[in-house]
Amino acid sequence: MPKTPSSSSNPAARSWHSFLNRFSLLDDKADDTMIDESLRAGVELRGATPWILMFAIFVASIGLNVNSTAVIIGAMLISPLMGPIMGIGYGIGIYDFALIRKSVGNLLIATLISLLTSTIYFALSPLTEAHSELLARTSPTIWDVLIALFGGFAGIIGVTRKEKTNVIPGVAIATALMPPLCTAGYGLANGNWAYFLGAFYLFSINCVYIAAAAVLVIGLLNPPHKQFVDPVVETRVKRVLFLVVLLTGLPSLYLAYRLVGNEVFHNKASQFVRQEFNFPKSHVVEIGITPKNKHVEVTLIGDRLSARTIETIRTHLPATGLKGAILTVHQAGDDNIDINTLRDGIVKELSGSELALASRDQQIADLRRQVTWSTQSAQLTAELKAQYPDLTDVIIGEGTSAAPAKENEADDASSSAAAGPEAETASVPILIAHSARRLSRQDMNRIETWFRVRTRSDAARIAID
Instruction: Please state, in angstroms and rounded to a whole number, the distance separating the CA atoms of residues 156 and 221.
Output: 11
What is the number of other CB atoms lying within 10 angstroms of the CB of residue 295?
A: 14
Q: Residue 226: what pLDDT?
A: 64
| Residue of 39, 84, 88, 40 lying closest to 211 (CA atoms) | 88
Between the alpha carbon of residue 224 and those of residues 33, 40, 54, 95, the distances in Å are 9, 14, 35, 10
pLDDT per residue as tens, the chain (465 positions): 444 445 555 777 778 877 777 777 777 788 888 888 888 888 888 888 889 889 989 998 988 888 888 888 888 877 788 888 888 888 888 888 888 889 999 999 999 999 999 999 999 988 888 777 787 777 777 788 888 888 888 888 888 887 766 666 666 676 678 888 899 999 999 988 888 988 888 888 888 888 888 888 888 887 776 665 567 766 777 787 778 777 777 777 777 777 778 888 888 888 888 888 888 877 787 788 888 788 888 888 777 888 888 888 888 888 888 888 888 888 764 444 344 433 444 444 445 445 455 555 666 566 566 555 666 777 777 777 777 777 877 777 777 766 554 444 444 444 444 444 444 567 778 888 887 777 778 888 888 888 888 777 787 788 877
Alpha-helix runs per DSSP H in 44-141: 48-66, 69-77, 82-93, 97-124, 132-135
Instruction: Please state, in angstroms and rounded to a whole number, the distance separating the CA atoms of residues 359 and 291.
Output: 48
Q: Residue 8: what pLDDT?
A: 53
CA 67 to the chain's CA centroid:
12
Count CA within 13 A, CB hemisphere, residue 186.
31
Q: Strand 461-464 and strand 326-331: pairing?
A: unpaired
What is the number of other CB atoms lying within 10 angstroms of the CB of residue 218?
A: 22
User: Who contacts 95 (Cβ-Cβ below 8 Å, separation ≥6)?
Assistant: 225, 226, 227, 228, 234, 237
Between the alpha carbon of residue 117 and those of residues 107, 111, 184, 366, 411, the distances in Å are 15, 10, 11, 60, 45
Judge residue 42's burial from the number of C-beta atoms within 10 Å of its C-beta, 0-12 exposed, 13-18 middle, 19 or more buried.
Answer: buried
Q: Residue 427: what pLDDT?
A: 75
What is the number of other CB atoms lying within 10 angstroms of the CB of residue 293?
A: 9
Burial per residue of 60-93, b for 16 or more beta-carbon CB atoms within 10 angstroms, e otherwise: bbbbbbebeeebbbbbbeebbbbbbbbbbbbbbb
CA 199 to the chain's CA centroid:
15
Q: Give the start-end residues of each E strand in 323-444.
A: 326-331, 391-402, 425-435
Q: Residue 421: what pLDDT?
A: 43
Confirm if 400 and 426 have CB atoms less than 8 A apart: yes
Between the alpha carbon of residue 128 and those of residues 113, 149, 362, the distances in Å are 22, 33, 46
What is the number of other CB atoms lying within 10 angstroms of the CB of residue 58?
A: 16
Q: Residue 121: what pLDDT?
A: 92
| Residue of 130, 110, 131 lying closest to 189 (CA atoms) | 130
